[in-house]
Every structure is written in C-alpha cells, then in structure tokens.
Amino acid sequence: MKGLIKTHFIPIRIIPFMDSSLIFQGITEDAGIVSLLARGYKRPKSRIRGEIDIFSVSSVHFFIKDTREVHTIRDARLVYAFHGFIENYESVKRCSDIGRIIIKITTLDIAKSIFSLYKGLLRVAHGKKRCTEELYYGAVVKILHIAGVFPPVTRCVKCGSTSILYISPAAGGPLCEKCAVSYPDKRKVEQGLLKELFFLLVKDFESITSFKVHDKTKDIINMLMKEHLYEYKKSAD
Ligand SMILES: [Zn+2]
C-alpha cells in the first residue's frame, strides 16, 4: 500500500516524539497497523490538536512511501470519542489490553474486521460506561476467531467430529476423544464451557454485557490466547 491514504484510525499507543510531537500507533480501517507522526500536536496552534485521541475514531490523511516507516499525518478529524468508561481504571486497562493484542496479531488482510470489532467494543463500553470482564473475553474470542485460531467451538479442530470432550491450546481448540490422544496439553471440558465459548463467539457485544462467564472458561480463553501470541512471536522472529 503506497500513496496518499485517507482512512479511519483508532490509536492504541501514544509515544512522545521531540518536544511537541506525538507518534500514534494504532489500527486503521484500510492500511492495517500503522505508526503516525502528529507533528507539533502539543502546540496550542496545532490544527490536529484534539483531533486524535485514545479510544477514539478519527478520519486521517497520511502518505505511505515505505510500509515500515512512521507516516506523517497530513490532516485529521475526530469522528467519535468513546470516553464513557475513561474514569474506570479496570475498563481502561481492559480496552488497552485488547488494543495491545490487536497490535500483535493484526495483519493487513484482517485489519478491516479487527478495526470494526474494536470500534464495536469501544462503542458498547462507552454506552455502558464500563468494559466488563465479559466484554474483554468476548473481544479476545472474536479476535482469535478472525485471526483464524479460534475455530467454531462445536467441532473437533482435527477431524470435525461434533462429540467434543477436550480442548487443547496446542491444537488451537476443541478435540474429540480420539484426536485428543496426541495432545498432552489437553484439558477435559464440560458442555457448559463450550456453550459459553460459543456464546462469546457469536453474540454481539451488547448481548455479552448481560452474560456471566465462569472462571474455567476465562482460563481456557487465556490459555488459547497465550498459546497463539507465543506462536505468533515465534514465527515473527
Ligand atoms: Zn477429532
């Protein structure tokens, strides 16, 4: 992707640069994960001051010459600020953690879906004035699914059988009894847990807020996520 890009952007990390500038690293709708330099952002007269902010969507213009470099923002306009939960520390932490996962796993081909998912999460957290644990885990499951590591939880990931008895992070999901034999990290799962995973996968964020996730389900999601992020890191090295 090269040339002048006009797209929507949600910053995830902010890095101070020189005296008055900031670098925003985040996700765009059309150009994947980018680092954008906002020159003179902190100056009172800056045209883009306040037009880009954490947990907000902005319309940005920037020029791409080389995909690895930091691109200078030509223009920016704030579109939505989802700040309803900003006073709640736990909520801010959960939304930031989701952002960090997004930076790690988003490739250009899935950027549009991930962007829309993160925007959806922020919108609901803003409306509810909270990002609950359930929203957080719902987002993780959906992100892993888009990244292709979280298959439909109703079938064995190896043979497609619908009689699932185990789940294995190394296999990347649920397994039937026969396929589970070759995975030492397998854990027995109850049908209730699979139902919860499936619910988090298919329901929208609004419905997820009125749902309670059990600790065992959270453990499994954490295991699957850690396994995937580790795999990703290995392949990136
Ligand atoms: Zn199987």
For residue 55, the domain's CATH number is 2.40.50.140
User: Do residues 35 and 98 lie in contact, with contact meaning Cβ atoms separated by under 8 Å?
Assistant: no
Reported as a pLDDT band with limits 50, 70 and 90, residue 12 is very high
* Greatest Cα pair distance in the chain: 67
User: Do residues 174 and 189 lie in contact, with contact meaning Cβ atoms separated by under 8 Å?
Assistant: yes
Does 115 have pLDDT greater than 70? yes
| 73 and 142 inside one domain | no
Specify if 226 maps to a domain.
yes
| pTM more than 0.85 | yes
| 212 and 139 inside one domain | yes
Question: Rounded to the nearest whole angstrom, what is the distance from the C-alpha of residue 213 to the centroid of ligand 1?
Answer: 26
Question: Rounded to the nearest whole angstrom, what is the distance from the C-alpha of residue 199 to the centroid of ligand 1?
Answer: 22
- Residue that finishes a domain, picked among 81, 100, 124: 81
Higher pLDDT, 57 or 149: 57
Question: Rounded to the nearest whole angstrom, what is the distance from the C-alpha of residue 159 to the centroid of ligand 1?
Answer: 4
Question: Rounded to the nearest whole angstrom, what is the distance from the C-alpha of residue 155 to the centroid of ligand 1?
Answer: 8
In the chain, the number of structural domains is 2
Question: Rounded to the nearest whole angstrom, what is the distance from the C-alpha of residue 173 to the centroid of ligand 1?
Answer: 11
Does 68 have pLDDT greater than 80? no
**Range of the structural domain that residue 223 is part of:** 132-236
Question: Rounded to the nearest whole angstrom, what is the distance from the C-alpha of residue 160 to the centroid of ligand 1?
Answer: 6
Specify if 126 maps to a domain.
no
**Per-residue pLDDT, 90:** 97
